[in-house]
Amino acid sequence: MIAQAIKTALETPMDSYESGLHAFFTRINSNWGIKLYQNEWIRDKTYNLQSKANLFGAAPSIGDKFEIKIPKKGYYYGYVTECIIKTHKDLFIEENLEWNEDDWDDDDISNPANIYCDQMEESQEFIELIDKLQLACITSGDMHWANVGWLKNGQLVAIDFSEEDEDNSGLTSWS
């Protein structure tokens, strides 16, 4: 799998990756993808947290870590991760095809996207995910609709661990 991950990383133009604050993501195939980071420390942190969350059923499975030099881009630090089928944000967009992301207004509580996010955070499925992360002593201030999604088996999981922390005090806090 690592050879295919490196091949995919080298052959996929960086502007075609899905990207977040810290990670670049692309699929290797329908089941597996790669996350790339420009910082080795952040890659190692997210890898370790995702691995720990996976033990509690709160994150996708992971494969090996790797380092790669992408021509004209520099060094990237990555790992193989199980793919989700869609995020909560994807589901909202499917159900609200006329909604335009440019219309997003965090202050407008009547905005359909804000209503959906509130409902998602109050759902039993989301609450159970948060409980699993807390059992793993992982705290977060970044659990939003684009950072959670479903695996092929229907399980809701967290997919972004770059803003999470490990809480070894036995106490957890969510903002």
Give the CATH number of the domain where residue 43 resides: 3.30.200
Q: Does residue 96 share a domain with residue 128?
A: yes
Q: Does residue 68 share a domain with residue 24?
A: yes
Q: Does residue 127 share a domain with residue 76?
A: no
pLDDT in tens, 77-104: 999 999 998 877 777 777 776 666 666 6
Please check the confidence at residue 148 and state whether its pLDDT lies above 70.
Answer: yes
Please check the confidence at residue 111 and state whether its pLDDT lies above 80.
Answer: no
Average pLDDT over residues 41-60: 95
What is the average pLDDT score of the chain? 83
Burial class (CB in 10 A: 0-12, 13-18, 19+), 99: middle
Yes or no: say if 158 and 147 are a contact pair by the CB < 8 Å rule.
yes
Q: Does residue 155 share a domain with residue 91?
A: yes
Q: Would you state the pLDDT for residue 171? A: 41
Q: Does residue 105 share a domain with residue 75?
A: no
From CA 84, how far away is CA 156, in angstroms rounded? 9
Token pair, residue 142, equals 């970044």
Q: Does residue 135 share a domain with residue 76?
A: no
Q: What is the DSSP-derived secondary structure letter of residue 16?
A: G
Q: How many residues does the chain have?
A: 175
Helix, strand, or coil (residue 18):
strand
DSSP character string of 47-106: HHHHHHHHHTTSS--EEEEEEEEETTTEEEEEEEEEPPSEEHHHHHHHH-TT--GGG--T
Residue 106: pLDDT band (50, 70, 90) is low
Q: Does residue 97 share a domain with residue 77?
A: no
From CA 37, how far away is CA 74, in angstroms rounded? 11
Q: Does residue 97 share a domain with residue 68?
A: no
Yes or no: say if 41 and 32 are a contact pair by the CB < 8 Å rule.
no
Is 31 contained in some domain? yes
Domain boundary among 65, 82, 99: 82
Number of domains in the chain: 2
Is 171 contained in some domain? no
Domain span at 124: 86-166
Q: Does residue 54 share a domain with residue 16?
A: yes
